[in-house]
Structure 1
Amino acid sequence: MQSAEDTSTRRRVAKGPGSSGGFMSGSGYDTDTLLQYDDHDHKDGHSKLRPPIGGRVSSGRLHKPYPTPPTSISDFIHQNLEHLPPAIYTLLSCWTRFHKIGLADIVVWDEAHFGKFGSHYLKREFYFDVHPPLGKMLVALAGLLSGYDGNFEFKSGEKYPAAVPYVAMRVMMATFGVALVPLGWYTAVELGLSPWACHLVALMILCDVAWLCISRFILLDSMLLFFTFTTVFFLTKFHNQQYHSFSFDWWLWLALTGISIGCVTSVKWVGLFVTAVVGIYTIEDLWDKLGDLRMSTRNQLRHWSARILCLIILPILVYMASFKLHFLILNHTGPGDAQMSSLFQAHLVGNDFWKNPLEVAYGSKITLKNMGWGGGLLHSHVQTYPSGSNQQQVTCYHYKDDNNHWLVLPRWNEPAYNPNDELRFVKDGDVVRLQHPPTTRNLHSHPIPAPIAKSNYEVSCYGNSTVGDVQDHWVIEIVDDIRQGKKDNVNRIRSLTTRIRLRHDILGCYLSAANKVLPQWGFKQIEVSCVKESDPDDIHTYWNVESHWNDRLPPGDVKHYKSPFLRDFWHLNVAMMTSNNALIPDPDKDDILASHPTDWPWLRLGLRMCGWGDHQPKYYLLGTPLVWWGGALSLIVFVMLLGTYLVRWQRRYVDMDATGWAHFLYVGKVAFYGWFLHYAPFFIMGRVTYLHHYLPTLYFSVLMFGHVIDHCVFSARWKEKTKRVVFGVATFAIVANFWWFRGMAWGIEGPVNEYWGLQWRKVSYFRL
């Protein structure tokens, strides 16, 4: 009967999988039992075991002493030969990313958004977007360095004028894409993969058509991918410094991991997914250290404090700093003003809020801003509700126009407002009528269900200057004042600072705008209704006077209008979240660009990025099939391998020593957790999804592919000739696959029907 040692395809010692389970499993803390490879383990077929050195880690790249300073050019070259392959890959990456980058001289896909946001920075106009500001500020920086003046509107499909250096801007954005290839190489090295596997990882990143295509335009995705890659790279570098905790290098890579987390989340919130990967790693790491009884309580606290400082506080500071810079640059009024609080807007250059009379009186013309997160301005227009009362619509609108104006007038059973009478200021408990000047109708509610929030009452505009009823009466309830404090200290309503609620005098309901979007008949504006429940903490029932005009009153003092940064920071982030959640599929439209997450790994559907005319370059966002399918299949193979090893271990078969098992789990967890945490959330999101959302996820499947093929082939007991054949076939297939589909990223010229070879599946890629 053959022994287990004879039948094994992997190196073995008498140590089973159950001996290590976390990211840091087998990490060298138990120096009495941990066994390590020496440098010859990768050269022969037998395991040479020796005790660990100084508690070094047994997963990832094995630590090697720093080389002595070179004494000659040949020594220098010899010591740095390992950097030659990534240097070559970087040059190839430059060629693929920059080749024909200016072929399309029109605004392609989301360049219409992010180029325009860059223009706002250059003109210092405040705008609103659902993404954090760092990436868009980098777009603006690219424009500034290119000599762009910010005056192009970036309309989709419009031809770039000669004054817009779009090629230079694209090149700067593509530089982030160039860096993905060397980052992928060095991350594979730090993960401890063999040189064969490192080459395959770098080649897959270099040759993927989707990563190539998305990197060649003025978009945020290349920056999102870059900071995702740097986060994983810095994490692996930090992991490999665990043999010498609290050294300079240990602190450096831990801090850089935190900074990278802050940067990736400051480009898009998708960066929170890679943050979760770092979080899981850190929890397992600290849990393992907690079980090390030889580690002093002081060192335990130092480890916890270091993680809190570098992986929580530092990323938050980076994230907040991006918003602080955002506010400092965008100090002029712009199209996104209405998303911010009235106090914030008061300090924008070009805004006239500082001219507002301080206290509101009868006869004042005002605009009312809802103080709910993402709330807009109380608005009405001549269109009517298609059902219910069929009266004039009342909505919340995020842009300024005359339909946001309201006159504060006495109720119907009081004398009409006379501009020659003595001034009467609006106080807490007053019953007022709000008239819409463009249509002369009055803000009104009645016991008819609202169109969307059926449990609330409908709010409409009814009557005119002389016709109305008691359903037009609203009671002013002061909540507090940002400057004066609690309600007891506030007597009169002040513009910008006083928070009020409007209670219907007859029904007792409260005027509310709870971010429910009306259908197309309501122009996708926010529904305004009258909520029956009296919840004093419901911020969607809070309003403040934003603009205020009254010729009988002097302008207020600007010192009363101060908005603290933390309040603005929080307000904008909640508004971004609210708007992001509102990006749901529109039942009234067929979005031919949208796709479902189940389509992504198998490339069932791509994304058309521009028009499809015969006389323009055409771009189609779709991955290289072998890269995407190979990554997806490697995830399945890893789970099967893990299950097989666990079953065999239960049967007392030992397939790997502690070092091999720790390395198998460590790399597998980084890749699998990263893939799962970037992919699974899209199944529970209500928002519309597109293929480019999968691009950060793809990176982890590529790492898994490198890990699995390294484990099964390059680090197993195969002949060197067999390994070379496998590597050669894989390399040829990846490069050939890229070359076949390269036109989708470099631009398809001429009639698309001539490219019949790209339609090689029954489901056509080119969905028109």
Structure 2
Amino acid sequence: MSSPNASLRQRPGKDKSKVVINGDRHEDGPANTYEPLKNSVTREWDYKIGLTIVTILAFVTRFFGISHPNEVVFDEVHFGKFASYYLQRTYFFDVHPPFGKLLFAFVGWLVGYDGHFLFDNIGDSYIDNHVPYLAFRSLPALLGALTVVVVYLIMWESGYSLPACVLAAGLVLFDNSHVGQTRLILLDATLVFFMALSIYSYVKFYKQRHEAFGRKWWKYLLVTGFCMSCVISTKYVGAFTFFTIGCAVLIDLWDLLDVNRREGALDLLTFAKHFAARAVGLIVIPFFFYLFWFQVHFAVLSRSGPGDDFMSPEFQETLSDNLMHQASVDIQYYDYITLRHKDTKVYLHSHPDTYPLRYEDGRVSSQGQQVTGYPFNDTNNEWQILPMEQGSKAGSLVLNGDIVKLRHVVTDTMLLTHDVASPYYPTNQEFTTVPLDVAAGERHNDTLFEIRMEQGKKGVPFKSHSGQFKLVHHPTKVAMWTHTTPLPEWAFKQAEINGNKNVQQSSNIWYVDDIPSIPADSPRLIKEAKKVKSLPFLVKYIELQRAMFYHNNALTSSHPYASLPYQWPFLLRGVSFWTQESTKQQIYFLGNPIGYWITAALLAVLAGILGADQLSLRRGLDALDRRTRSRLYNSTGFFFLCWAAHYFPFYLMGRQLFLHHYLPAHLASCLVTGALVEFIFNVDPVLDDETSATISAKKDKVASRMPEKARRSFQTAQERLKGQSMFATWVATGVVLAAVLYGFYFFFPLTYGWPGLTPDQVNARKWLGYDLHFAK
């Protein structure tokens, strides 16, 4: 596969001397053509008429009833909220890059929305809260409609026949999952649109291969890079689009190295220019655009907000009105403090109860006093921070890197960890407490802990709230850690505290939440106004990237509507977006089963055709001509690669997955379907100038050797075969689209949330046992 298409169609430009004949472009028209000039001009208009109809239908299906429901639907609680945070300039955290969310914020700014509504709950009224939700929803609807147009243009620019263009676009046009995702305040419309536009612009770029380094060549190269940047700047699965285009580029570069190229071999300097141009246009410039959206993100979000807790204290100091820094107080030795875990928010807690002698798996404990994580504030959460040597450093500041002890105030015992396995993690150490006399004697070393502040230099003051830290056991170098799985009843289902040998793990971080021993009139509580600090952009960017990747990979918990990749092509499961009990209306995210099954079947057919062709070649049988095989591998194969690159990587992911993750791959499968139907019915492709001229010359040479009567019979036979192939393709396209249209109409109420359905009507739509509401 050397390109998205080995014989790409050249659409006519503004040069009036060039006319389109049978879809091909010629200089002033050749002397011998097999169809009248009138038909060739009509064919160009056929494509334009088809594009017009497809465009109108795309806008109708996406914008019809877009005001319903006038309530928050599914993940609009997230992406609508993020738009409001942008407009309030309030810092938030999300696992997705900022580009798609910035577009929603831009729409809100255009219509004068101030971001007062925070989309807290599914079902909250937009009307009562005066939210311009139609403007927000219009953005994905617009991009969704344009996606259908781009699919049509991809097929047209790739040289496919009109029915192939209509079929590929129609499969996306009448697909319920594409419609459903583009009518709500969600990111997928932006992702899929720019993914499709990346493919289209790369096809346009490749068509300029004979005019390398020309103005159009550079234009489409840079547009391709920009579009790919927009894809990955919306969601990180946009990396699959980079992989798709990257494979095509690498194969194209490999072909340029061939000394037997028809256009002639390239010298190494020229090849280096080709390589460098593609590297700059498709890697360097897209990366700078990607960074640019993060720069905008940081510039807009200048105020403290709900995303603060995900960032380091140094990052938070760059935000105005930051409550953590306003509440931070220097910690002195002998203060009473409460410690809280950054991720789970539980307090470090202890009580007189002890660990059981044996755990459920038979392991033996120390039977020491339990040390647990407790979610509520309580006197048993108070600890006194003491110096390593008792009686010293009274009133002195605790500094980063100090070795300290922690006394549990209520039970008057000292915190320690030792080489005894914790209840749930045999590889981690148990935390417990011991009496003061034991802690001062033989167990002294076991009670020593080092304060290791995150991002802090050694010797800086240790503060409450802002002084996020790891409590590292001095002798054994394990870090105090907790997690979300509760202990059994013997520990009152509180959280386990243990010593984690992986000290670098980011979930080891704690902070001092309160210092209850400080008098209310203490001068330590007097605050001076703090200036907002600044951090270099790359420092902030790298920190945010780490947090995004960490929390994205942590999305492993089960979800009632999660699905696995093998279920997507067969549409085995959907997602409930919204329900209304009073009207029995519901929005259930589901694709068009007929369209999904057809595209999945034809993907398998293509794999079979490619396998059979390779097998026949091994046995010395050549069933395809060179032009047909080139088109099958280079064009249809490119679309198949696009599908595979956007589908199979999900099998490697451990995070939650849903049906909407398949939308980019489904679009690619629609392109494969359109291309394969044309291949099956053997419709002559629309060729570029060079290929068309070569074929015409060969036909003219054959025809010139025939008697006049035989020549006319030959031409008539050629025209008849073309007409029969085109008719068969139109029939196949019509049958498929009729079936797809029926599926779209049948599942219309679940996609648009209107009208409500009776239980019998709901059950009739459970084709594969979909878990629909109001079925009883």
**Could you tell me how far apart the structure 2 residues matched to 1:666 and 1:759 are?**
39
Seen in structure 2, the aligned counterparts of structure 1 residues 542 and 76 have a Cα distance that, compared at 3 Å, is same
The amino acid that maps onto 1:112 is V
Query: Pairwise mapping of residues 527-542 of structure 1 onto structure 2 (< 5 A)?
Result: 529-532=498-501
Query: Pairwise mapping of residues 630-641 of structure 1 onto structure 2 (< 5 A)?
Result: 630-641=598-609
**Could you tell me how far apart the structure 1 residues matched to 2:377 and 2:290 are?**
34
Seen in structure 2, the aligned counterparts of structure 1 residues 437 and 765 have a Cα distance that, compared at 3 Å, is same
1:61 equivalent in alignment to 2:9: yes
Query: After superposition, what is the alpha-carbon deviation per residue over 1:421-463, rounded to whole angstroms, capped at 9, x for unaligned?
Result: 5x42335764313468999997543444345543111346899
Range with bigger deviation, 630-639 or 222-231: 222-231
Range with bigger deviation, 279-288 or 545-554: 545-554
1:592 equivalent in alignment to 2:560: yes
Residue 711 of structure 1: CA displacement? 0.5
| Candidates 176, 180, 185, aligned match of 1:218 | 185
Report if the CA contact (8 A) 1:403-1:436 is conserved. no
Residue 554 of structure 1: CA displacement? 8.2
Residue 755 of structure 1: CA displacement? 1.6
Report if the CA contact (8 A) 1:597-1:683 is conserved. yes
| Candidates 299, 303, 308, aligned match of 2:270 | 299
| Candidates 753, 756, 766, aligned match of 2:759 | 753
**Could you tell me how far apart the structure 2 residues matched to 1:401 and 1:296 are?**
74
Query: Pairwise mapping of residues 177-192 of structure 1 onto structure 2 (< 5 A)?
Result: 177-192=144-159
1:337 equivalent in alignment to 2:337: no
3-state SS, counterpart of residue 734 of structure 2: helix
**Could you tell me how far apart the structure 2 residues matched to 1:200 and 1:79 are?**
18
Range with bigger deviation, 435-444 or 326-335: 435-444
Query: After superposition, what is the alpha-carbon deviation per residue over 1:692-712, rounded to whole angstroms, capped at 9, x for unaligned?
Result: 111111111111101110111
The amino acid that maps onto 2:63 is F
Residue 481 of structure 1: CA displacement? 6.6
Residue 677 of structure 1: CA displacement? 1.8
The amino acid that maps onto 1:644 is A
Residue 338 of structure 1: CA displacement? 1.0
1:98 equivalent in alignment to 2:63: yes
Q: Which residue of 2 aligns with 1:566?
A: 538
**Could you tell me how far apart the structure 2 residues matched to 1:250 and 1:532 are?**
55
Query: After superposition, what is the alpha-carbon deviation per residue over 1:540-585, rounded to whole angstroms, capped at 9, x for unaligned?
Result: 6677889999844987996895432212211212211111212113
1:149 equivalent in alignment to 2:108: no
1:619 equivalent in alignment to 2:587: yes
Residue 133 of structure 1: CA displacement? 1.6
Q: Which residue of 1 aligns with 2:718?
A: none
The amino acid that maps onto 1:60 is L
TM-score, L = length of structure 2: 0.78
Range with bigger deviation, 210-219 or 432-441: 432-441
Q: Which residue of 1 aligns with 2:576?
A: 608
3-state SS, counterpart of residue 681 of structure 2: helix
Q: Which residue of 1 aligns with 2:736?
A: 730
Q: Unaligned regions of 5+ residues in structure 2, if any? A: 20-37, 360-364, 685-720
**Could you tell me how far apart the structure 2 residues matched to 1:683 and 1:160 are?**
38
Q: Which residue of 2 aligns with 1:233?
A: 200
1:208 equivalent in alignment to 2:175: yes
Report if the CA contact (8 A) 1:432-1:474 is conserved. yes
1:261 equivalent in alignment to 2:225: no
Q: Which residue of 2 aligns with 1:6?
A: none
| Candidates 157, 160, 168, aligned match of 2:126 | 160
**Could you tell me how far apart the structure 2 residues matched to 1:527 and 1:288 are?**
60
**Could you tell me how far apart the structure 2 residues matched to 1:168 and 1:653 are?**
59
Query: Pairwise mapping of residues 68-467 of structure 1 onto structure 2 (< 5 A)?
Result: 68=16, 82-154=47-119, 155-162=121-128, 163-292=130-259, 294-352=265-323, 361-362=332-333, 379-380=347-348, 391-394=370-373, 409-411=385-387, 414-415=390-391, 423-427=395-399, 430-434=402-406, 444-459=416-431
The amino acid that maps onto 2:320 is V
Seen in structure 2, the aligned counterparts of structure 1 residues 88 and 442 have a Cα distance that, compared at 3 Å, is farther
**Could you tell me how far apart the structure 1 residues matched to 2:298 and 2:670 are?**
38
**Could you tell me how far apart the structure 1 residues matched to 2:434 and 2:48 are?**
75
Report if the CA contact (8 A) 1:517-1:524 is conserved. no
Pair member with larger Rg: 2
Range with bigger deviation, 141-150 or 200-209: 141-150
1:661 equivalent in alignment to 2:637: no
Identity %: 29
**Could you tell me how far apart the structure 2 residues matched to 1:236 and 1:547 are?**
61
3-state SS, counterpart of residue 404 of structure 2: strand
Query: After superposition, what is the alpha-carbon deviation per residue over 1:320-370, rounded to whole angstroms, capped at 9, x for unaligned?
Result: 212111111111111111111110101211115655889754256889899
Report if the CA contact (8 A) 1:357-1:556 is conserved. no
Report if the CA contact (8 A) 1:380-1:403 is conserved. no
Seen in structure 2, the aligned counterparts of structure 1 residues 711 and 477 have a Cα distance that, compared at 3 Å, is same
The amino acid that maps onto 2:146 is A
3-state SS, counterpart of residue 321 of structure 2: coil
Query: After superposition, what is the alpha-carbon deviation per residue over 1:574-598, rounded to whole angstroms, capped at 9, x for unaligned?
Result: 2111112121133xxxx43122222
The amino acid that maps onto 2:607 is V
Q: Which residue of 2 aligns with 1:712?
A: 680
Residue 279 of structure 1: CA displacement? 1.5
**Could you tell me how far apart the structure 1 residues matched to 2:763 and 2:372 are?**
54
3-state SS, counterpart of residue 518 of structure 1: strand
Q: Which residue of 2 aligns with 1:763?
A: 769
C-alpha RMSD of the superposition: 4.3
Q: Which residue of 1 aligns with 2:689?
A: none
3-state SS, counterpart of residue 499 of structure 2: strand
**Could you tell me how far apart the structure 2 residues matched to 1:66 and 1:186 are?**
18
Size of the aligned set, in residue pairs, is: 690
Query: After superposition, what is the alpha-carbon deviation per residue over 1:112-171, rounded to whole angstroms, capped at 9, x for unaligned?
Result: 111112121121111112211211222222333344332223211222233112223212
| Candidates 449, 456, 461, aligned match of 1:475 | 449
Report if the CA contact (8 A) 1:146-1:169 is conserved. no
**Could you tell me how far apart the structure 1 residues matched to 2:454 and 2:574 are?**
53
Q: Unaligned regions of 5+ residues in structure 1, if any? A: 1-21, 26-56
Q: Which residue of 1 aligns with 2:746?
A: 740
Report if the CA contact (8 A) 1:354-1:557 is conserved. no
